[in-house]
Amino acid sequence: MTSWYLRKTRRTDARLRLFCLPYAGGSAAIYRDWSDVLGPRIEVMAIELPGHGSRRSEEPFTATEPLVEALLSALLPDFDRPFAILGYSMGALLGYELARRLYARVGLQPRRLFACAHGAPDYPRSRSPAYELPDPQFIAELRRLNGTPHELLADAELMQLMLPLLRADFRLNETYQHRSLPQLSCPVSAYGGTADEDVSEAALTAWRSATRGAFSHRLFAGDHFFIHSATAPLLRQIEVDLGLA
């Protein structure tokens, strides 16, 4: 059976599991070194989505709902101890929907939901969908977002291999429709970048309506991909918000 996780270190005595979902085009490898920093109290469950990373031979999902259903079915046995969910950009939507379905189906909620680099699910989109743009314009959008390595953008052959996955992820994110489900009651933390042109502070604070529980938000130095430029302060804040600092 294909593993849904990239685990660097198993921490069977951890106080909490942190399930981490990647951004569009990203793999579980973006969370590879988090275990080293967060230490033994947190078991990092870096999720590998179909079509990504070690599962690149699989067909990627193009819609949120079937992917979240697959995640729920595959991951449910691992929610047997205290846990939190973190999603980055596209992953924030997936994490939110996963948390809502867990609550609706089996009454489980995370200790905290972390929504990074994405506006609230019901916040109006600021840009037109990009997933159907011709290749040159789509690649220009990737370049603007500054999350795809410049070496990859400059390699036409590699980009042709990557474009189907990137388009699938963008389609999943850009065609998402917010649906009414019971509101969460777990705490929610929304994180953004000070120079992110696509996710404003207003879009982040709109996450407050996603829960009846506590809410906080914080900006980190960087653009849409502050996960790479501000890793250390980001991980410190995660520990603080989890009460494990």
Q: Does 89 qualify as catalytic in the annotation?
A: yes
Report the distance separating Cα 104 and Cα 165, nearest Å: 30
Among candidate residues 89, 200, 209, 216, the one labeled active-site is 89
- Kindly state whether residue 137 falls inside one of the protein's structural domains: no
What amino acid is encoded at 185 in this protein? S
Contacts of 108 (CB under 8 A, 6+ apart): 79, 102
What amino acid is encoded at 38 in this protein? L
Q: Is the CB of residue 73 less than 8 Å from the CB of residue 98? A: no
How, if at all, do strands 83-88 and 16-21 pair?
A: parallel
- Which residues form the domain of 47? 5-123+178-241
- At 8 the pLDDT is 61
Record the pTM.
0.93
DSSP collapsed to 3 states, 186-233: CCEEEEEECCCCCCCHHHHHHHHHHECCCEEEEEECCCCCHHHHCHHH
Instruction: Please identify which residue in the block is written with the tokens 């990203």.
Output: 26
Residue 100 maps to which CATH number? 3.40.50.1820
- Kindly state whether residue 88 falls inside one of the protein's structural domains: yes
- Kindly state whether residue 237 falls inside one of the protein's structural domains: yes
CA dihedral 123, 96, 207, 38 (to 10 degrees): -140
Contacts of range 199-206, beta carbons closer than 8 Å, 24 or more positions apart: 199/117, 199/118, 199/119, 199/224, 200/119, 200/126, 202/123, 203/118, 203/119, 203/120, 203/123, 203/126, 204/115, 204/119, 204/120, 206/119, 206/120, 206/122, 206/123
Report the distance separating Cα 143 and Cα 163, nearest Å: 13
Report the distance separating Cα 26 and Cα 116, nearest Å: 14
- Kindly state whether residue 146 falls inside one of the protein's structural domains: no
- Kindly state whether residue 109 falls inside one of the protein's structural domains: yes
- Looking at the structure of the chain, the number of domains it has is 1
Per-residue pLDDT of the chain (245 residues; tens, 9 = 90+): 358 998 666 777 899 999 999 999 999 999 999 998 998 899 999 999 999 999 999 999 999 999 999 999 999 999 999 999 999 999 999 999 999 999 999 999 999 999 999 999 999 887 788 888 888 898 888 888 877 777 777 778 888 888 999 999 999 999 999 887 778 999 999 999 999 988 999 999 999 999 999 999 999 999 999 999 999 999 999 999 999 87
The helix-helix angle for 156-174 and 90-106 (nearest 10°) equals: 40
- Kindly state whether residue 118 falls inside one of the protein's structural domains: yes
- Kindly state whether residue 141 falls inside one of the protein's structural domains: no
- Kindly state whether residue 160 falls inside one of the protein's structural domains: no
- At 131 the pLDDT is 86
CA distances from 244 to 15, 38, 39, 166, 170 (A): 9, 9, 10, 35, 34
Report the distance separating Cα 208 and Cα 235, nearest Å: 21
